Amino acid sequence: MITSYQHYEEMCKIAVEQIISKATIQFFRRKGLKVSAEGSGALFSFKDNYFIVSAAHLLNFESISKLEFIIGGNFGLVSQLKTKLVVCNSGGKDVQNTDISILQINNNLISEFEKYYSFISIEHVVPNHNFTSKYFYFLYGYPASKTKIIPHQKKGYIKACGYWTYPYSSEKYREIKSIEDFKVLFWYDKKRFSNFYSVNKMHGPDAPGFSGSVMWHIVGNVIRKKEIEKVNVNPVAIMTAFDYPNKMIIGTEFYVVYGLLREAFDLRGLNIKLKKSVSFKYIDS
């Protein structure tokens, strides 16, 4: 008999394999003969508009010409994807910055792109999430320490990682001065890392590379892959910073991304009222 926790874990495995992993992209930077892992991003769509959402300290006007991604086993320049790039508060990774960037992908490239990746429709996203310690949340991305590529030798490995976590209570927020109300704090302890395939805790990766990845809230009541459409996979935050001494990862709530998409890209169909008002200071090109 399957316990409720085992049931939930199995459902999340299916969601990761069939939805989340396909909607997550990794960024790289070439340094001489080596290629280093730089961070992560997530893929979203609205009607005929396609986007990569990431952290602005990772994807911005200065870095875009240097960042690469993998498609069909080959490297491509992120700059070649761009129709428009919006950068919101790229000046730093602390708790006072939105630190969100959104790249709109050229529609002429989507048919090839979708051979290897999938997009999550913003129309199905619930932007206003109320965080509670009653829920588990799932962080999925590409830690830099789990990637090693040597192009000229055609050697290397890439490993995505997921991490179960929960949000900190309100007491932790009071300890941090000047934190903006669109930021959310999650527990991260790499010494107590777990995965789907082992009941034992293990030593996990360092957090760099998780920047730009999504914190997901997964709900549903299925364990069979053919019922994947019944699983609700909702993005609740974009990871932007890490605080190792306090075992904490910091993210910008996804309602900010929703509002920025609506304002900066004039997506009039995104009409859900946001739970908090946000004044956007962004640059686009």
Assigned token pair, 154: 């055609």
Nearest to 58 by CA among 207, 185, 213: 213
pLDDT at residue 1, rounded to an integer: 32
Using CA atoms, how far residue 168 sits from 93, 186, 187, 195, in Å, is: 19, 6, 7, 21
Mean pLDDT, contiguous 10-residue spans, the chain (285 residues): 60 85 92 82 95 94 92 89 86 66 96 94 91 82 75 63 81 70 84 55 63 88 59 90 83 93 89 82 82
Residue 141 φ then ψ, to 5°: -170, -160
Q: Across the strands, what pairs with 186?
A: 167, 249
The pTM (predicted TM-score) of the whole model is 0.88
pLDDT at residue 142, rounded to an integer: 85
Cα angle for residues 50, 136, 195 (degrees, 5° grid)? 85
Domains and CATH numbers, the chain: 4-284 (2.40.10.120)
H or E element, residue 164 = strand 161-165
Q: What is the 3-state secondary structure (H, E, C) of 180-241?
A: CCCEEEEECCHHHEEECCEEEEECCCCCCCCCCCEEEEEECCCCCHHHHHHCEEEEEEEEEE
Residue pair 9/195 in contact (Cβ under 8 Å)? The answer is no
Judging by beta carbons within 10 Å of its beta carbon (0-12, 13-18, 19+), is residue 146 exposed, middle or buried? middle
Rg, Å, the chain Cα set: 18
Assigned token pair, 129: 């999430």
